[in-house]
Amino acid sequence: MRRSDPEKPSERARVRPRTDVFETPEALIVVADVPGADHDSVEVSLQEDVLTLRARPVVRAPEGWQPAGAEFELPEYERSFRVTADIDREGLEAGILNGRLRVVLRKRLPRSNRIEIEAR
């Protein structure tokens, strides 16, 4: 059985978190399962048109307990998406609760073609 130190990221498996993507007329919503991660261990970035989610959960063996077998180890999570919609970079929102990361990318809405006519 392989065991690793959670403080040495290089020894941990890196997996793609299970992710859902939803779309509304106003936004793209990306929801990823990152159990063990919290605000301090999550990183969300948007570079050019690539959205990248990273999480490095720090969950140690409980103090005073000895490992007795495991079917899983909390890994590092990393996944990137190419975003095709025109995104408002100022309106990027991200939050994490119960190991669920939720990122909202607001679309840049097309400007109205309506022309204001000033009365003189």
User: Could you say whether residue 18 binds another protein (CB under 8 A)?
Assistant: yes
Question: How many residues bind another protein, per CB under 8 A?
Answer: 35
How many angstroms separate the first and last alpha carbons of the chain? 82
The contact pattern for another protein, residues 22-41, with x = CB under 8 A and - = no contact, is xxx---xx-xxxxxxxx---
User: Could you say whether residue 43 binds another protein (CB under 8 A)?
Assistant: no
b vs e for 62-101, b when ≥16 Cβ sit within 10 Å of the residue's Cβ?
A: eeeeeeeeeeeebbbbebebebeeebeeeeeebebeebeb
- Is the Cβ of residue 18 or residue 108 nearer to another protein in the bound state? 18
The contact pattern for another protein, residues 67-96, with x = CB under 8 A and - = no contact, is xxxxxxxx----------------------
The candidate with the shortest Cα–Cα distance to 14, out of 45, 57, 46, 51, is 57
Which one-letter DSSP state was computed for residue 26? S
- Is the Cβ of residue 71 or residue 116 nearer to another protein in the bound state? 71
Using CB under 8 A, which of 10, 48, 64, 82 touches another protein? 64
